[in-house]
Structure 1
Amino acid sequence: MTTSDQILARLMQLHPKVIDLSLDRMERILAALGNPERRIPPVIHIAGTNGKGSTQAMIRAGLEAAGKRVHAYTSPHLAHFRERIRLAGELISETELAAILEECEAANGGHPITFFEITTAAAFLAFSRIPADYTLLEVGLGGRLDATNVIDNPALTVITPVSIDHTQFLGDTLPQIAGEKAGIIKRGVPCIVAPQAPEGREVIETRAEALAAPLRIARQDWDSYSEHGRLVYFDDKGLLDLPLPNLPGPHQIQNAGTAIAALRELGFGEPEATAAVTRAEWPARMQRLTRGPLVEAAGDCELWLDGGHNPAGGEAVAATLAAMPKRPTHLVCGMLNTKDVEGYMRPLASQIRSMIAVPIPGAEATLPAEETESAAIRVGIAATTATDTLDAVRRIALEEPGARILICGSLYLAGDVLRQNG
């Protein structure tokens, strides 16, 4: 039997030599499949630069606490592709995934198509065949021309914080990038807007006004903050006094507020909001590792993992470290050559003692460890290199037992770590 990994490897060969962001290929393959995107449960479409995955995980936790069956689509995966497609609460099985990928491969007929486009079509096909109450759909890149943006009438759209990233595709100014994200807004469909920089928010408001789409804007129509060890959320429906999010980090307060605003817009109340902040699971976002060979190599050190990779992600990690109990902290960092490495590291400089740079195994776009090291030194971080993550963890554990070690810089590195640790 052909495995999903074998089919996915074949699909990679169809990738166009140059990626032009367009919906043409997506519309072609969906038509060949009978337009499954028109037969999926009501969609909650989520775009943004940071916080999409955490916000989606919280919305899903709230909906499932209400007894709802929820499909979910997210990317990239960490350890295995199956993580991207969740059918009515469960990860798609290997058998289902292989069968649906082969069906999409046949429908595509060998035409050029990006890996994300054809696998998104596979997700829509799977979603169309399993009954559920909602479909949570996370944008892959941008919004306006993203492969997920073929849903004409979602139940709700959500825009998490927008910042500078993927400039080679989305533009190099915040208003340009916000315009791409705002491309998921649909005529008359409510949109939840997380806290934004003023120039980004203005673009989102202009787009929504043109489409008569009602906005629920952070710090205007709703707000969330921590007070006395609790999460306070309020909007025009009232105030909620909730536990702090189980996902660690100060930035999860605004992600939780965004998720709760979405749940309230859908008609859910305090029990679902409580579940959203206490039951969400989202790996590689300031995740404490507790088992596996890397944990054994760390000895008495705390071992943490985070997949943030842009300047806003670096700020979120730095704020999380600042809020944690004081402990000497060292980074093990691997990054892609498409990222703003100094922008990511600059906020971290004041929170850590040193960094060991590593390459990302199996990633063609990995930044050489020596270049990651040089970027760290330029922003004031004492840095060196190691051949791999295990070597780096062992060295830190030997030099400073009981320290905190954070493996960070890329979701691809995070995925490799999770595979190593079972």
Structure 2
Amino acid sequence: MRDASPPTGAKTSDAVLDRLTRLHPKVIDLSLGRVERLLERLDHPEARLAPVVHVAGTNGKGSLLAFLRAMLEAAGRRVQVYTSPHLVRFHERIRLTTGLIDEAALIVLLERCEAENGPEPITFFEVTTAAAFLAFAQEPADILLLEVGLGGRLDATNVIDRPRLTAITPIALDHQQFLGSTLSAIAGEKAGIMKPGVTCVVGPQEPATLTVLERHAQSIDTPLFCHGRDWTFEPTSEGFRYEDAAGPRVLPRPSLLGAHQFANAALAVACATLLGEFGVDDRAIAEGIATASWPARLQRLTQGPLVDALPEGWELWLDGGHNPAAGEALAATLKDRSRMDWGDRPLDLVYGMLDTKVAAGYLQALAPFAHSLKAVRIPGEQASLSAEAAAGHASAAGIDALPVESVVDGVKAIVAKAERPGRILICGSLYLAGYVLSENG
């Protein structure tokens, strides 16, 4: 559960986390050696976990796990979840069966990992993943849903010898500086989570990407359960139709908004189908689809200072998608008015993005729908594009764009120029989304 703010001068997890960022000169340095060394010193908590569902992919990992968690909990299972990055507080990354890890427990685990590692180089993600494994190993649970941080093959989470199941969401171009410049190269890194004899559930993929996954699976004797071959889905007016060898199932509309969430929900159904021993029946599957929650994924903000500052009739939305595929998914949602009609009023964007992302592809997808854009630098993020650079990318994509000092200034500028109530979407980065959620309460 979330804790109240600690008293002034008290030890905090933020202070420990800040120290841990200094143990390696790079934020990202993909390798398994450092985390394996630390896990050995911790007496291998990764070997004492509940059965693991290990998930890689470019987009949709968090949404998939949100749907799957809701299904498993509807079936009465005790579920642990590891995700990254967090939106507001680090504690969001480590969800125990009783809720988010508490402050005192997190401090103890982080300091133990810090002490065992000593001054040796280790990345922030590696050492905090080790702490998460310690937390999960200390608590009885039925299943652990484990999200890859980056890539797969050399990701710190890829130390689980034999997960219960693996899954790969749609693969797209992202993090090319770490994973390779082509879809095939990136697919090869994602395929690295596959294990011999452990079924891998594969979501919708480009043909070339699927070929890479199939070849790797064949080379290590991994069974695949693939979209388009072993299971399919089709949106309907009331929800969607899922079908596999057992026959068709008619399922409700996903609780998470956006056309792309049908694919994420269907992939969760495919995973749940292979987890029969956990009692995930049709009732639990349907309940999970209809009730799953996952912040900053096309989320409407309905309270807080930003909302209070809007005149009557305005809407404020938030989305953390941050690469070209996410932009295309958002554009598909805006285009399909049968499911979410945003054509009733102008759509203005408040936008910020990291300089490690492909801004042009993201913005080009949204250009036909954007009335204007106000660009911001993401507060507290050294890797953020400047407001001027972000506005430049938007202008190049054909969007009427201006740099502003802050999200609040962007919202105010949009309202000031409007002739009637409109809709504002804050978008471009999970880090920007986290900042907005934190500042907006």
Q: How many angstroms does 1:89 deviate by?
A: 4.4
Instruction: Give the structure 2 partner of residue 287 of structure 1.
Output: 299
Structure 1 position 275 matched with structure 2 position 287: yes
Instruction: Give the structure 1 partner of residue 149 of structure 2.
Output: 140
Name which of 331, 340, 356 aligns with 1:338.
356
Q: How many angstroms does 1:20 deviate by?
A: 3.3
Q: How many angstroms does 1:238 deviate by?
A: 1.7
Name which of 408, 416, 419 aligns with 1:398.
416
Instruction: Give the structure 2 partner of residue 160 of structure 1.
Output: 169
Q: Distance in 2 between matches of 1:298 and 1:234?
A: 44
Q: Distance in 1 between matches of 2:26 and 2:248?
A: 52
Instruction: Give the structure 2 partner of residue 67 of structure 1.
Output: 76
Q: Distance in 2 between matches of 1:250 and 1:89?
A: 31
Q: Distance in 1 between matches of 2:366 and 2:215?
A: 35
Q: Which moved more, 1:263-272 or 1:142-151?
A: 263-272
What amino acid sits opposite 1:287 in the alignment? Answer: Q
Instruction: Give the structure 2 partner of residue 103 of structure 1.
Output: 112
Instruction: Give the structure 2 partner of residue 364 of structure 1.
Output: 382
Structure 1 position 350 matched with structure 2 position 363: no
Q: Which moved more, 1:46-55 or 1:208-217?
A: 208-217
Instruction: Give the structure 2 partner of residue 193 of structure 1.
Output: 202
Q: How many angstroms does 1:17 deviate by?
A: 4.2
Q: Distance in 2 between matches of 1:379 and 1:391?
A: 22
What amino acid sits opposite 2:11 in the alignment? Answer: T
What amino acid sits opposite 1:321 in the alignment? Answer: L
Q: What is the DSSP-based 3-state SS (H/G/I as helix, E as strand, rest coil) of the residue aligned with 1:82? A: helix
Name which of 333, 346, 358 aligns with 1:328.
346
Contact 2:348–2:371 (Cα < 8 Å) also in 1? yes
Structure 1 position 128 matched with structure 2 position 147: no
Contact 2:27–2:123 (Cα < 8 Å) also in 1? no
Contact 1:263–1:273 (Cα < 8 Å) also in 2? yes
Give matches, 1:168-247, under 5 Å. 168-247=177-256
Q: Distance in 2 between matches of 1:256 and 1:403?
A: 30
Q: How many angstroms does 1:397 deviate by?
A: 1.9
Contact 2:52–2:163 (Cα < 8 Å) also in 1? yes
Q: How many angstroms does 1:297 deviate by?
A: 2.0
Q: Distance in 2 between matches of 1:87 and 1:17?
A: 29
Instruction: Give the structure 1 partner of residue 6 of structure 2.
Output: none
Q: What is the DSSP-based 3-state SS (H/G/I as helix, E as strand, rest coil) of the residue aligned with 2:296? A: coil
Name which of 303, 310, 314 aligns with 2:327.
314
**Cα deviation per residue 1:34-71 (whole Å; 9 max; x = unaligned)?**
00000000000000000000001000000000000011
Distance 1:303 1:225, change over 3 A: same
Contact 1:260–1:276 (Cα < 8 Å) also in 2? no
Q: Distance in 1 between matches of 2:25 and 2:40?
A: 20
Structure 1 position 381 matched with structure 2 position 399: yes
Name which of 29, 32, 36 aligns with 2:41.
32
Contact 2:188–2:213 (Cα < 8 Å) also in 1? yes
Q: Distance in 2 between matches of 1:132 and 1:192?
A: 23
Q: How many angstroms does 1:25 deviate by?
A: 0.2
Q: Distance in 1 between matches of 2:395 and 2:26?
A: 36
Contact 2:347–2:372 (Cα < 8 Å) also in 1? yes
Distance 1:17 1:278, change over 3 A: closer
* Structure 2: gaps (5+ residues): 1-9
Q: Distance in 1 between matches of 2:50 and 2:179?
A: 29
Contact 1:259–1:276 (Cα < 8 Å) also in 2? no
Contact 1:297–1:390 (Cα < 8 Å) also in 2? no
Name which of 15, 25, 35 aligns with 1:6.
15
Name which of 434, 438, 441 aligns with 1:415.
434
User: CA RMSD, aligned part only?
Assistant: 1.0
Q: Distance in 1 between matches of 2:256 and 2:54?
A: 21
Contact 1:263–1:272 (Cα < 8 Å) also in 2? no
TM-score when normalising by structure 1:
0.98
Structure 1 position 296 matched with structure 2 position 308: yes
What amino acid sits opposite 1:124 in the alignment? Answer: F
What amino acid sits opposite 1:7 in the alignment? Answer: V
Q: Distance in 2 between matches of 1:384 and 1:159?
A: 38
**Cα deviation per residue 1:213-267 (whole Å; 9 max; x = unaligned)?**
1111001111112112221111111211111101000000110110000000111
Count of aligned pairs between the two proteins: 422
Q: How many angstroms does 1:418 deviate by?
A: 0.2
Q: How many angstroms does 1:403 deviate by?
A: 0.6
Give matches, 1:109-120, under 5 Å. 109-120=118-129
Q: How many angstroms does 1:174 deviate by?
A: 0.3
Q: What is the DSSP-based 3-state SS (H/G/I as helix, E as strand, rest coil) of the residue aligned with 1:298? A: coil
Q: Distance in 2 between matches of 1:145 and 1:384?
A: 40
Q: How many angstroms does 1:402 deviate by?
A: 1.5
What amino acid sits opposite 1:333 in the alignment? Answer: Y
**Cα deviation per residue 1:262-304 (whole Å; 9 max; x = unaligned)?**
0001113211211221111100000000111111122231100
Q: What is the DSSP-based 3-state SS (H/G/I as helix, E as strand, rest coil) of the residue aligned with 1:345? A: helix
Structure 1 position 83 matched with structure 2 position 92: yes
What amino acid sits opposite 1:355 in the alignment? Answer: L
Structure 1 position 265 matched with structure 2 position 274: yes
Q: Distance in 2 between matches of 1:51 and 1:17?
A: 26
Q: How many angstroms does 1:15 deviate by?
A: 2.0
* Structure 1: gaps (5+ residues): none
Q: What is the DSSP-based 3-state SS (H/G/I as helix, E as strand, rest coil) of the residue aligned with 2:348? A: strand
Q: Distance in 2 between matches of 1:58 and 1:240?
A: 16
Q: How many angstroms does 1:19 deviate by?
A: 4.4
